Structure 1
């Protein structure tokens, strides 16, 4: 068998100089007690998946077994067995000796197995996994449950067992146990908080520095001695000529920690970026500049491999798809994703909204399990500059859809928010995404509608008329109003306001059309801080993606996502009729007239005009001819307007004659500034 997921699995806490992968074929047994070992399973793929080689559904117990061989040059080191994630309850033995148990299907865990090896280098590792069919009281995100969750219609095939990499590492008995990195408020230094564990911690020397090609760069390193092993060390590393991390320049600083003790030398590396995300009034700021979220929902599923990426490149593919579609943020939905995803988001400059998995019902046990994810989430992922928003609950899942009426549920939401903010005050956090908020840094809302006209009416009520609630469909014939703020009535507090789930249309053509018109409806309103489209790709029965489950392009009716999600767009002042028929009743040679405005999210104001260009129905314009016109000017250039960032322009009148030889045509509206096309949209016109 070729190597399975061979890349180092923990780039945020890199000890890759002393590791070995345990991915690949393991013996496998269903149910029973430690056998019979009649099958093999490919780790790290859930046992429901084709890639695992097992394909077992609604199996509640699975047993794994594998022989391991510890490298000889690890002699004198402690040997640690790591699991990226196992759903849901894992019990582990080495050479028949119990080494530990872990509950929680999305958080990493490790066991020091040195004593169980008893001085030998070869051993048998055995893992028992319990993955209950009834998942309602455990964290399971979008995995289906029997009995069903209330949200079963948007749930997918369960993913049970080992679903993230398994590996061994060697480290000294006294070792680095944690490295938390944070940029200084002034964005010219990195603060490193280092934890040390082991029998000879007192007196150990820790050197922390920005790492270069040949190791720690001396001028930017700090050395301290451990005096109290219960208190983490905190050092500040100043940076000359600092480069700020941003989507346009995702510059990362590598930080290396070197520990010297009586037990030997330990080395760990991590990375972060110099960036600051903050809420100021009703705006989100990134490095002091306004951030408008153009996001897309990414649920982290793949056709043959479930919630495990088939290979490391799959993460890059999804991030690049999002960027190609014009998005600047990915909302990784109800899933603590594999750390490799965040590693690639950091280096590629894609912003991330990260959130834990949900439970299904409201009980003391389910609340405790949900909250148990928060500290591991921040500890594992807090160094990543790509994460700019933390999420918590989603649409009251795990809260029985009843936050407003129940103080106990409000208290659970508030407690989760306060726990998260105490651990990481540096990022905005959303308490209960999309529905009724209790304590939050962002006021977000989820509204779905099948038509631009219906969507526009809901936007007017919520954003223009000050409605305190909005309609949510909970099933056929059942619509309820969800108030924005659960804890009080009255105006929404002055916080950033954004949509974080929307979309509509039963076919891919309708959805492409709605992506254009519903997004432009949002761009009419300067007070908003952004949106999150649902979603990047189809998953199983859910056909809401811009792309197929296999990440292929879908027929969007020639509505380009990258034009809709651009920094600069044209917002026509009209109500579209249907896909391919935005404006109807115009005969060949007839006149079409309407106003447009320009929405511009660039860094500075521009003097712009709108250049009209006709093409065949659903077709594209002649790029060479139009570029020449844009550079040369013409009558259209006399109709210009100054467009300020995040301020909808004054209207411009578009008056055009339908091509005489066509019963249907596409009118391209191109924003031209300084002879260059910087944005566009289209209007489809028919008789």
Structure 2
């Protein structure tokens, strides 16, 4: 019995031609220095899922037979690849079809003249995957010689790692579609036609299931633009991720493109989604899976990751240093998850490396720009590819600024971050990365960044090697008037410690109104990096009693406490505990209710057991304004059936609204403190 085709879904549902296509995923012949074998496409040859599981192959060849269906006679036939790392040379029956360089970008070839409908031909893809990746975009893939950031790198991912397929198109066909819905009442449409009669071609654009439509005529270059008004527009948002399907026809060619009416903008230091104030609660996602590397094992895995992020209270995923496959963006659009998209990085600076990095920018916008889920474009990350030296080298600063300008010229509808986390040259968001496992210094430095008292923060670059990294490359970069947000934080070695830092560090970020949001590191463990809220296999972790959705809720309680250690936030006092509690509320209207607190047994979850010595106080929280501290005074319990030990207990703190519904909750663990060994 033939094995099932892996990842059988049409790879580009956002530009749907699934009426006439043929998957090339599955078993291919594979030849390398190790000899002949078979490989399962589309999985990198380093991965278990590929059936090869071989690292550091510099090159290999793929072969298989392909047949264009007889009913495609008279159509144009395209050979399409989602991504091949790094350099692909494609031949059919020994005749060169074309080459492509760039391991994260899609490419295609018109193979009409190379195939005969109904007749089998041999397709060959020769792949070069250099071990030394420092001057090519490779993101988190490990390089030899190694990158400066090798300690946070993962296994290489070489070869055909996204879907390959054939599809039929008209003799004149739509090659590119740009749909921008940031006006909220119309789509700005740009179409490029190629083929037999690209100039003066009539292009019909219509909304599927509605009466709106228009006719465009291409110019001499095959390009046509227009504005398509939408009657009674329904906006795309996380709460209502409504999508419009637009049918686009030219001659006998047809595709269905998907887009949404959505705006995302900065106004001073604030973010706005569809004209309403927005607070970003993001999680970083590396996009790795244990058996299949940077390729999701199946479509369900893509959906599952987005659902995990949503269920943990996040409204955005920062897809880190990777163009994820279009089906992930397809599902982000449908599930209402916002996306921060960014290209893979190089690691060492040179003019050629910068050019290689910049070559991804136009392809990123062309492939992914129609997705309403993408609300932020990222570029460089922490000066990777710029030798950690923007402030000290004008050429490197110019490279970051040039990347910003290239991207801004292609798409003005989304904020752009040119160098995430470190020294900014030209940016629409001032973001910062800060890892600190000492609660006192974390709180102090976060407060200083929020107040503007300091514009730098400590960054460990190696054992006993810590530098202060500035938010700004030089004095010409504005110190205000741009949204300020964290885009990487977290800490801890065990899952208990990770949950503890997530709870307290997120509270500190919510303490400060000035911040426009945050991005936690990270969604899932990857190889040696055990920083996820779930394991690499996407199993839940014991985070010390924390439900991440509580830390990331619309309304959060902020305790006036500097915790001491994971599992024991404070020493259990004798007599009475006085606690300040603030409310950070990001709803659209004021929230009035009561803050309540009560003791329970150590480790007991909220609502599971009897609570003792309960107290409460009234509070009103206004949107995007942290309240003044409400002071609670609680009698410390003696040993009892409700709290167990007299030396350790958990204090639950929660907020109920006027109807008695719980709107926010957190907890404080009190007990004996362990002495720290030096």
The TM-score normalised by the length of structure 1 is 0.94
Aligned-partner SS, 1:495 = coil
Aligned-partner SS, 2:389 = coil
Report what 2:642 is aligned to.
Answer: none
**Contact in 2 for aligned 1:294/1:328 (Cα 8 Å):** yes
Task: Work out which of the residue numbers 154, 157, 161 in structure 1 matches 2:155.
Answer: 157
2:652 matches 1:652: no
Report what 1:208 is aligned to.
Answer: 205
Query: Matches of 2:664 and 2:70 in 1, distance apart?
Result: 61
Query: Matches of 1:625 and 1:237 in 2, distance apart?
Result: 60
2:410 matches 1:418: no
Report what 2:676 is aligned to.
Answer: none
Query: Matches of 2:258 and 2:294 in 1, distance apart?
Result: 26
Aligned-partner SS, 1:11 = coil
2:217 matches 1:225: yes
The more displaced of 657-666 and 646-655 is 657-666
Which segments of 5 or more consecutive residues in structure 1 lack a partner in the other structure? none
**Contact in 1 for aligned 2:437/2:492 (Cα 8 Å):** yes
Q: 1:353-392 residue pairs with structure 2 within 5 A? A: 353-392=340-379
Report what 2:233 is aligned to.
Answer: 242
Query: Matches of 1:24 and 1:229 in 2, distance apart?
Result: 41
**Contact in 2 for aligned 1:326/1:566 (Cα 8 Å):** yes
2:626 matches 1:665: no
**Contact in 2 for aligned 1:181/1:192 (Cα 8 Å):** yes
Query: Matches of 2:443 and 2:65 in 1, distance apart?
Result: 61
**Cα drift, residue 53 of structure 1:** 0.4
Report what 2:387 is aligned to.
Answer: 400
1:560-591 Cα shifts (integer Å, max 9, x gaps): 2110110101111111111221121324xx32
Q: 1:424-503 residue pairs with structure 2 within 5 A? A: 424-464=411-451, 466-488=453-475, 492-503=479-490
Q: 1:624 to 1:18 in 2, by over 3 A?
A: farther
Query: Matches of 1:572 and 1:209 in 2, distance apart?
Result: 54
**Contact in 2 for aligned 1:466/1:491 (Cα 8 Å):** no
Report what 2:597 is aligned to.
Answer: 612
1:35-84 Cα shifts (integer Å, max 9, x gaps): x6x20000000000000001111000010000011111100111110000
**Cα drift, residue 201 of structure 1:** 2.5
Aligned-partner SS, 1:55 = coil
Query: Matches of 1:48 and 1:512 in 2, distance apart?
Result: 32
Query: Matches of 2:179 and 2:384 in 1, distance apart?
Result: 32
**Cα drift, residue 31 of structure 1:** 3.8
**Cα drift, residue 236 of structure 1:** 2.2
Report what 1:198 is aligned to.
Answer: 195
Query: Matches of 2:327 and 2:395 in 1, distance apart?
Result: 37
The more displaced of 509-518 and 656-665 is 656-665
Query: Matches of 2:476 and 2:560 in 1, distance apart?
Result: 33
**Cα drift, residue 454 of structure 1:** 2.4
Report what 1:300 is aligned to.
Answer: 287
Task: Work out which of the residue numbers 557, 562, 582 in structure 2 matches 1:597.
Answer: 582
1:586-623 Cα shifts (integer Å, max 9, x gaps): 24xx3211111101011111112201133221211336
**Cα drift, residue 465 of structure 1:** 5.3
Report what 2:112 is aligned to.
Answer: 114
Query: Matches of 2:231 and 2:488 in 1, distance apart?
Result: 41
Q: 1:45-60 residue pairs with structure 2 within 5 A? A: 45-60=43-58
Report what 2:139 is aligned to.
Answer: 141
**Cα drift, residue 667 of structure 1:** 1.2
**Contact in 2 for aligned 1:451/1:514 (Cα 8 Å):** no
Report what 1:251 is aligned to.
Answer: 242
Q: 1:526-675 residue pairs with structure 2 within 5 A? A: 526-587=513-574, 590-622=575-607, 639-661=617-639, 662=645, 663-674=647-658, 675=660
**Contact in 1 for aligned 2:199/2:222 (Cα 8 Å):** no
1:663-683 Cα shifts (integer Å, max 9, x gaps): 311111111111221111111
**Cα drift, residue 624 of structure 1:** 9.8
Q: 1:109 to 1:434 in 2, by over 3 A?
A: same
Query: Matches of 1:423 and 1:108 in 2, distance apart?
Result: 18
Query: Matches of 2:451 and 2:27 in 1, distance apart?
Result: 58
**Contact in 1 for aligned 2:32/2:60 (Cα 8 Å):** yes
Query: Matches of 1:244 and 1:612 in 2, distance apart?
Result: 40
Query: Matches of 2:304 and 2:606 in 1, distance apart?
Result: 29
Query: Matches of 1:202 and 1:560 in 2, distance apart?
Result: 58
Q: 1:489 to 1:190 in 2, by over 3 A?
A: closer
The more displaced of 557-566 and 451-460 is 451-460
2:28 matches 1:22: no
**Cα drift, residue 118 of structure 1:** 5.2
**Contact in 2 for aligned 1:86/1:160 (Cα 8 Å):** yes
Aligned-partner SS, 1:105 = coil
Query: Matches of 2:22 and 2:599 in 1, distance apart?
Result: 60
Query: Matches of 2:446 and 2:258 in 1, distance apart?
Result: 41
Query: Matches of 1:285 and 1:258 in 2, distance apart?
Result: 35
Aligned-partner SS, 1:322 = helix
**Cα drift, residue 460 of structure 1:** 2.9
**Contact in 1 for aligned 2:600/2:609 (Cα 8 Å):** no
Structure 1 residue ranges, 4+ long, deviating more than 6 angstroms after superposition: 623-626
Q: 1:505-520 residue pairs with structure 2 within 5 A? A: 505-520=492-507
